[in-house]
Amino acid sequence: MIVYKTPPTKQGILCALFESFTQKEVPNVVTSSDFQPTFDCVVKDIKIDQKIADRVEKGLIKSGGISLLSTLFYALRSNDGLKETTIFSVAHKCLVARKNLVTNYKDPDMINLYEINSRIANEAHRLKGFLRFEKTAPGVWYARISPDNDIIDLIAPHFKSRFPNERFLIHDLKRNLVCMCDGRSLKTIKTDQALLVCLHQDEHNFQSLWQTYFDHVTIKERFNPKLQDTSLPKRYRKNMVEFAPRQDTLEFN
């Protein structure tokens, strides 16, 4: 069994492809995570070389066009442990066939890639709705997210064009990424520090009004929490104010 170890990047995969073609071998697994080698297994660390990566990239474009590149590397955002192997296999097959095979769904690799990409796109779409901003004392908007896939770059432009001139931060708590918008451009940085957020004095009032709205718009006769769970999986709720404990005990009937 042959295992290629490579960073989870476009460059990494492209260099792995090069290795495979020059060595005339097809790895069983391509991975970025630590692999527990068994006795019959050869693990190769793939060397990264930008020039080689560029060459392979050109080859891919020649085989399947620019759209092949974007379909392949869109999948890098996935949390699927097999993503590198899948991207690698699809790319390998397209290079061999000299054509774009991603819609040849008879092939399990193509179906896997399709499904990985659909999960990313679906989650990005969901989070455009589920993300919640809080107003901080200095007037900057702050949102926490913990998505399964690394989708911050897919959603931030949506908020930038929706709220022109607003300054905001989107914080991916799982990956310690913060995407910042100063009202004009977006920038994402990695930070391991906890962010100290001081909320604006109005914030509590609007959060509690939203909770009030949320509670009262439910039709109790049609209570159906199972349906709610499929549409809005529990893992997203920790960052959503309507699922936070109610602070006002005052109830109106």
Given the complex with other proteins, which of 87 and 155 has the nearer CB atom?
Answer: 155
Name the phi and psi angles at 38, rounded to 5.
-95, 175
66 or 225, CB closer to other proteins?
225
Cβ at position 108, least distance to other proteins in Å: 6
The yes or no reply on residue 134 touching other proteins (CB under 8 A) is yes
User: Cα angle vertex 12, ends 7, 18, to 5°?
Assistant: 145
DSSP string, the chain: -EEEE--SSHHHHHHHHHHHHHTT---SEEESS-----TT-EEEEPPP-HHHHHHHHHHHHHHHHHHHHHHHHHGGG---TTHHHHHHHHHHHHHHHTS--TT-TTSHHHHHHHHHHHHHHHHHHHHHHH---EEBTTS-EEEEE--SS--HHHHHHHHHHHSTT--EEEEETTTTEEEEE-SS-EEEEE--SPP---B-TTHHHHHHHHHHHHHHHS-GGG--HHHHHHHS-GGGGGG-GGGSPP-------
Min dist CB 154 to other proteins, Å, is 14
Instruction: Closer to other proteins by CB, 4 or 168: give it.
Output: 168
Q: Is 219 a residue that touches other proteins (CB under 8 A)?
A: yes
Q: Which of residues 99-128 bind other proteins (CB under 8 A)?
A: 101, 103-106, 108, 111, 114, 125-126, 128
Q: Does 70 bind other proteins (CB under 8 A)?
A: no
Q: Which stretch binds other proteins (CB under 8 A): 7-15, 47-55, 70-78, 238-246?
A: 238-246
When asked if residue 230 is in the footprint of other proteins (CB under 8 A), the reply is yes
Tokens 């179906």 found at: 111
Q: Quick one: 14 or 179, whose CB is closer to other proteins?
A: 179
Token pair 């991207």 in the structure block, residue:
87
Size of residue set near other proteins by CB under 8 A: 57
Interface pick for other proteins out of 23, 67, 176, 218 (rule CB under 8 A): 218
Q: Is residue 138 near other proteins by the rule CB under 8 A?
A: no
Tokens standing for 6? 């490579």
Q: Which of residues 163-192 bind other proteins (CB under 8 A)?
A: 163-164, 166
Task: Report the nearest approach of other proteins to the CB of residue 27 (Å).
Answer: 23
Residues that bind other proteins (CB under 8 A): 101, 103-106, 108, 111, 114, 125-126, 128-135, 141, 143, 158-159, 161-164, 166, 202, 206, 208-210, 212-214, 216-228, 230-232, 240-242, 248, 250, 252
